[in-house]
Amino acid sequence: MKQEFQQGITFDDVLLLPLKTNITPNNVNTKTKLSKNIDLNIPLVSAPMDTVTESKLAIALAMSGGLGFIHRNLTPEKQAEEVAKVKRFRNSFIENPLTLGPDDLIKDAVKIREEKGYKNIPIIDQGKLVGLLTKYDYFWPDDENLTIKKRMKTLKELVIAPVGTSLNTARQLIREKKVPVLLIVDKKGLLKSIVARSDVAKNLQFPEANKDSRDRLRVGGAVGVKAEAILRAELMAASGVDVITIDTAHGHSQNVFETLKALKKNKKLQDIDIIAGNIATAEAAKELIALGADAVKVGVGPGSICTTRVVAGVGVPQISAIQNAAKGRGKSTVPIISDGGIRYSGDIVKALAAGADSVMIGGLFAATEESPGDITYMGGQMYKIYRGMGSIEAMSQGARDRYGLKKDETVDKLIPEGIVGQTLFKGKLADRVHQLIGGLRAGLGYTGSKNINELHKRAKFIQISHSSLRESHPHDVSIIKEAPNYQAAPFTD
């Protein structure tokens, strides 16, 4: 079959031209759109992979201004609980807080503290507030069999505010009265909500946190296709999820079309954006957008632990894939997410310049303290496990339908499209995000772009040679102290 070959370009094949500017890295704006109705303060989201994103990392990323997607290698119920943990972590007015009664036992409070993390518990009787059990009231282990009324602070000792109190007033009362919790009651004395001092502190410490209209952290979740996708989506919706991604290796497929339409029609999901992917062509982007996708996710095989391109012989180099999707988007404003292949902060700038609105990251975040899994030691170095969702190990735990394989397929019959690896431990996520966003700010400055929309319009690529790539990295020296945002790249001649 005679065919004209299209050239494929990826991150290492190009550089951006420096342009005349009066923009400096300190005065650029990194805000962007994840999907039609979800904003980001930084254009970074985490991949829904079982060695990357559960509630701990999703919380840390949202506090830094991004958003995490909880993976689906969990039961639907457990995935929904991970979403709920993120939504509960920071919440100005906590409605329907966990409560106990005055005749409950101290050990019931201990159980809540250990399982849910709540240390200050309102005490109610038939809905009416009667006291508060603070973390200092049940310190001693031998008190566990006492009733709560023997240790709680009574109504006269509490700071209470009426329904309708503003958030600013609530914060002021907590500060002035030096209380751990402000309790909000109606005229009948019924407890309606609480404001925790710890949440006020989080607001002050992380001003760039990505929050919803109720001041809770934003979080996403992944679903597959068909009936289980609907179940997962509905359970996560009940937990407060902000956005859902249809997580498949091949998003330009009938199963994804049908799932997308079903999710968009579901009345329980009317306020939740739906992302569809993964794709790599203009036709796929155009069709998914026409079916109602609120964003499209681009990337077939660029990830460091993905073997799709060599196993199946299918894929598109990532810069070309992003440009294809941007072409398919046409005049639509539906956002594009670049998923995979990011090794350096400069790759983020290139992905955005090619047409993406945000970037999904796996490996760089898998190396952080907040990712699932334990730290391992080898040769005096600390590592974390990072595996592809197409690896045998991940598919054995439930991810096989992502690659169109049957759920009852035996392990020895699985055809993997990913591997299991280890990545050098890099510490806290916030530190890694700081370096990545610092690089993005520098890139915006060099291109004279005050924000990501301007980068889309102003960016100019040049294609480079292999020798140019070598020149771009440190050369002709031995690195004796690595920078926090650079790890030496292997080159092959």
Residues annotated as catalytic are 306, 402
Q: Judge contact between 434 and 425, C-beta under 8 A.
A: no
Pairing relationship of beta strands 243-247 and 220-223 according to DSSP bridges: parallel
Q: Tally the C-alpha atoms within 13 A of residue 48's C-alpha that lie toward its C-beta.
A: 28
* Alpha-carbon gap, residue 184 to 296, rounded angstroms: 42
Position 96, amino acid = N
Helix (H) or strand (E) holding 304: none
* Alpha-carbon gap, residue 370 to 108, rounded angstroms: 29
Q: Judge contact between 432 and 365, C-beta under 8 A.
A: yes
The strand order across the sheet containing 94-95 reads 94-95, 191-196, 181-185, 160-162
Helix (H) or strand (E) holding 343: none
Contacts of 444 (CB under 8 A, 6+ apart): 23, 25, 28, 30, 349, 450, 451, 452, 454, 455
Q: Judge contact between 338 and 360, C-beta under 8 A.
A: yes
The strand order across the sheet containing 420-424 reads 375-378, 381-387, 420-424
SS3 for 415? coil
Helical H segments across 293-428, by residue range? 308-311, 318-329, 345-353, 363-366, 392-396
Q: Which residues on adjacent β-strands are paired with residue 185?
A: 162, 191
Q: Judge contact between 137 and 151, C-beta under 8 A.
A: yes
Label residues 237-256 b or e (16+ Cβ within 10 Å = b).
bebbbbbbbbbbbbbbeebb
